[in-house]
Structure 1
Amino acid sequence: MNSPWQTKWPERISYGLSDAADNLVFQMMTTYLLFFYTDIYGLSASAAAILFIVARLADVVESLLIGVMIDHTHSKWGKSRPFFLWYALPYVLFAVLTFVTPPFGAQGKLIWAYVTYLGLGFFYTAVNLPITSILPTMTQNESELTLLGVIRQFGGSSVQIIVAVFTLPLVAWFGHGNQQRGFLLTIILFGAISLALIWNTFFHVRERFTNPEHAHQSWRAVGRMLRRNQPWLIISVVILLYWLTTAIKNQTTIYYFKYIQHSEALVPWANSFTFAALIGVLLIVRAAHVWGKKQTMLGGIALAAGGQLILTLGVLFNQLVPLFAGILINSVGNGLIIGLVSIMIADTIRYGMALGIQAEGILASTDDFGVNVGLGLGGLVTAGLFHLSGYVANHPQNTATQHMIILNYAWLPLLLYIVMFVTLLFYNERRLKITLDQQSDRD
């Protein structure tokens, strides 16, 4: 039996703007930070690779730490909501500092990169993880949870596209030929908007459903629930694979157009086709109702893989039309995938409650864990392969490096989509639904 709807449109929009706020910084970090470090800041590809893997190892711990902090937070605002208030300002400050280029020597600049990037990773987790953990406490209506998840992803995807398309033009406009200045002023602009939107979320969302008997359980009890929560284990692996795929392809995009197509100006055009992700996001409400969330996500993965295959053919034959068409189709599929992530994580949190444990912080941490580890491994793979192939910034690349760029941009993402599809086949949506229906009847 489904409960009545609890949220109103101002709260729904404010919730969606939380992901938009985070993505103003996050998308710039995932798409352009490797390029900034190697071609502007002055780090070698090998140094950037090591930095990314160290940061992601730290993020593994941070995701669990923030999850535990949420589960053990007692405040008049709830468990997840106060994190938007407490950590928004440090998050934005570290985002700006990450794109500062200090007048230090090589060692000093490397230390600065470590301090700022590691700090940014921690505070990103502190403001992003609560977006997922708060969702199942806002409403108990399954249709409303789906709508809130779609609104969130629509906001996040819209900003991803804005950042992907307009970052380089803004860098050129602010910098007037000085990319250091351009990147810094761009992140200051994005950061100021991000801060306002995160605080707006704090003031407008509410936590309504917390069970004191199920909250604040022992580590042993939480561990037993995690082992029994098969849907959570499967969706965690899917999230990791998705962000690994995204990191490898997104970070390679600017290298592909700069060094293979010899036209950096094509990057905004290529990224503009990712607007099609919004189509996938908007399809979720109807598709999930008709086919279920698992089948809808499987369809999204298949569509994304098909688009990636078309993109690969465009790369092989050096044709921009199929390449751009592949990006568009791939983006529709990606919209279906990523739009369902927070909704399916919310289902696993509710499943945990049905098992007697309310641990939304720990269960939601799998989203940030997958993001952080996927991005870290993606950065390591990209920068590591470039280093091994002899990449030299701002110079014509040798044949081995060109092959590595094409491998990262076309073939590796295609392979990872296939692995993602096979993994999701093991997700037991039927058992999850039966358990949630039984719990709803008891309530």
Structure 2
Amino acid sequence: MDKKTETKWPERISYGLSDAADNLVFQVMTTYLLFFYTDVYGLAPGAVAILFVVARIADTLESLLIGIMIDRTHSRFGKSRPFFLWYALPYVAFAILTFVTPAFSATGKLIWAYVTYLGLGFFYTAVNVPITSVLPTMTQNGRELTLLGVIRQFCGSSVQIVVAIFTLPLVALLGQGDQKQGFLLTICVFGVISLFLILNTFFQIHERYTSEDLSHQPFKKVVQMLGRNKQWLTISVVIFLYWLVTAIKNQTTIYYFKYVLHDEQLVPLANSFTLTALVGVLLIMHLTSLRSKKQTMSIGIILAFGGQCLLSVGVYGSWLPVLFSGIMLNSIGHGIIVGLVSIMIADTIRYGMTMGIQAEGVLASTDDLGVNLGLGLGGLITAGLFHLSGYLPNHAQNTATLHMINLNYVWLPLIIYFLMLLVLHLYYDETKMQQALKKGYRP
């Protein structure tokens, strides 16, 4: 360790559980909301595609807005912590409302979807951006920052996997054949747990390092710093591409098993193999002790690409064991990639301080911004291609739609992983950042 550790395990676990709390709701949205809107609530795929675009445009603006709000916050609790307290309840309330299915007309249903989903997007941003922005204020120990990031992602990935595996069985159990009731009761259960965990984070974590000289700088200076912070720009694009491929793969999984393999019951089994993402997360501490974070993330992308290649062999050879093996390898890579995201953003925040600006809110908003842009475009691609190919919910699909499903599930992810590797190559050698951090800010 380069400095004495400053956090204790209760605080570390509470910090990690903040991501678990958000993912209890968020993972349901990314994996099942498109299916819920089209096959349960009865919205047209084209209308859903437009909704996702509008929501992501709104979320993009909201990410920056929340970041600015954090940087302008003055409170006895700090800059980021208060957001957990202020927005936890509205976040859970709108999550539940999103799965309420009033018997409106087609237009009324769409209006309801817009109001609830857009509201959910804003409050998700309000409780998610602070998870990243608070990290570099908790400790100045580089290895401890990595440990906190790993704990966060381990908790978040664990919940993602739990949600992916158990959502549909829980919907069936609670709904007793009524998917509308099943989804609503499931999100109620997840929401209550999420509320408790977010509030627990507020009470347990501490902001220790906020420089009054560098914080609360004019927005114009913050923007100038962003343009010079090449590390931040690069990792922002990588984050966007990661969530783009995640959205496309996750949203297409249920369609692939339902309409190509004609066995929707295999979805929980297929998702169970994503448990190996936890292996990737746990490898981060070891790999970063031997290699740079950039090199470690490159390993993750290569593993994800290799797993996707294996998955494609399983898809076109109709070999489920090979397909599931591909999911396992791909998930290990995903665990490494996403586990490093908040850690590398924290590095760019600290790097920004060497330029005289501590703007953890704005810089951390890139995480949520990448999530929103990636998920939005991923939802648009998936829903849009289905619409163009003539997709009909709960019917046997035509040949064009089946081709579109395979395109989304196999080929688009392969292209995106390759782009991620190219973009990451532009990330600076980390020794340059370390040298700048040692010198500190020189006005």
Output the CA distance in 2 between the equivalents of 1:220 and 1:121: 27
Output the CA distance in 1 between the equivalents of 2:322 and 2:431: 39
Q: Which residue of 1 aligns with 2:284?
A: 284
Q: Which residue of 1 aligns with 2:321?
A: 321
Q: Which residue of 2 aligns with 1:82?
A: 82
Q: Which residue of 2 aligns with 1:357?
A: 357
Deviations 1:58-77 (A, max 9, x none): 00100000000000000000
Q: What amino acid does structure 2 have at the position aligned with 1:228?
A: R
Deviation at 1:28, TM superposition (A): 0.4
Q: Which residue of 1 aligns with 2:432?
A: 431
Deviations 1:84-130 (A, max 9, x none): 00000000000000011001110110000000000000000000000
Q: Which residue of 1 aligns with 2:302?
A: 302
Output the CA distance in 2 between the equivalents of 1:426 and 1:433: 17
Output the CA distance in 2 between the equivalents of 1:76 and 1:219: 23
Deviation at 1:431, TM superposition (A): 1.8
Q: What amino acid does structure 1 have at the position aligned with 2:136?
A: P
Deviation at 1:292, TM superposition (A): 1.2
Instruction: State the TM-score, normalized to the length of structure 1.
Output: 0.99
1:381-400 matches, within 5 Å, as 381-400=381-400
Deviation at 1:220, TM superposition (A): 1.7
Q: What amino acid does structure 1 have at the position aligned with 2:425?
A: L
Q: What amino acid does structure 1 have at the position aligned with 2:309?
A: L
Output the CA distance in 2 between the equivalents of 1:150 and 1:293: 12
Deviation at 1:438, TM superposition (A): 2.5
Deviation at 1:363, TM superposition (A): 0.1
Q: Which residue of 2 aligns with 1:195?
A: 195
1:416 has 2:411 as partner:
no
Q: Which residue of 1 aligns with 2:253?
A: 253
Deviation at 1:3, TM superposition (A): 2.7
Partner SS, residue 174 of structure 1: helix
Deviations 1:285-336 (A, max 9, x none): 1101111100000000000000001001111111111100000000000000
Q: Which residue of 2 aligns with 1:172?
A: 172
Output the CA distance in 1 between the equivalents of 2:326 and 2:183: 29
1:238-277 matches, within 5 Å, as 238-277=238-277
Output the CA distance in 1 between the equivalents of 2:404 and 2:432: 43
Q: How many residue pairs end up in the alignment?
A: 441
Percent of residue pairs bearing the same amino acid type: 70
Output the CA distance in 2 between the equivalents of 1:220 and 1:42: 46
Q: Which residue of 1 aligns with 2:293?
A: 293
Output the CA distance in 1 between the equivalents of 2:162 and 2:249: 18
Q: Which residue of 2 aligns with 1:217?
A: 217
Q: What amino acid does structure 2 have at the position aligned with 1:316?
A: Y
Partner SS, residue 18 of structure 1: helix
Q: Which residue of 2 aligns with 1:55?
A: 55
Q: Which residue of 1 aligns with 2:151?
A: 151
1:78-157 matches, within 5 Å, as 78-157=78-157
Partner SS, residue 58 of structure 2: helix
Deviation at 1:437, TM superposition (A): 2.8
Deviation at 1:219, TM superposition (A): 1.6
Deviations 1:126-168 (A, max 9, x none): 0000000000000000000000000000000000000000000
Instruction: State the TM-score, normalized to the length of structure 2.
Output: 0.99
Output the CA distance in 2 between the equivalents of 1:152 and 1:309: 29
Q: Which residue of 2 aligns with 1:344?
A: 344
Partner SS, residue 132 of structure 2: helix
Output the CA distance in 2 between the equivalents of 1:389 and 1:269: 28
Q: What amino acid does structure 1 have at the position aligned with 2:272?
A: S
Unaligned stretches of 5+ in structure 2? none
Q: What amino acid does structure 2 have at the position aligned with 1:353?
A: M
Deviation at 1:277, TM superposition (A): 0.3
Output the CA distance in 1 between the equivalents of 2:207 and 2:163: 30
Question: CA RMSD for the aligned pairs?
Answer: 0.9
Deviation at 1:228, TM superposition (A): 0.8
Output the CA distance in 1 between the equivalents of 2:411 and 2:313: 10
Deviation at 1:430, TM superposition (A): 3.0
Unaligned stretches of 5+ in structure 1? none
Deviations 1:184-214 (A, max 9, x none): 0000000000000000000000000000000
Output the CA distance in 2 between the equivalents of 1:387 and 1:32: 17
Which contiguous aligned blocks of 4+ residues in structure 1 show a shift greater than 3 angstroms?
none
Partner SS, residue 264 of structure 2: coil
Q: What amino acid does structure 2 have at the position aligned with 1:357?
A: I
1:30 has 2:30 as partner:
yes
Deviation at 1:409, TM superposition (A): 0.6
Q: Which residue of 2 aligns with 1:403?
A: 403
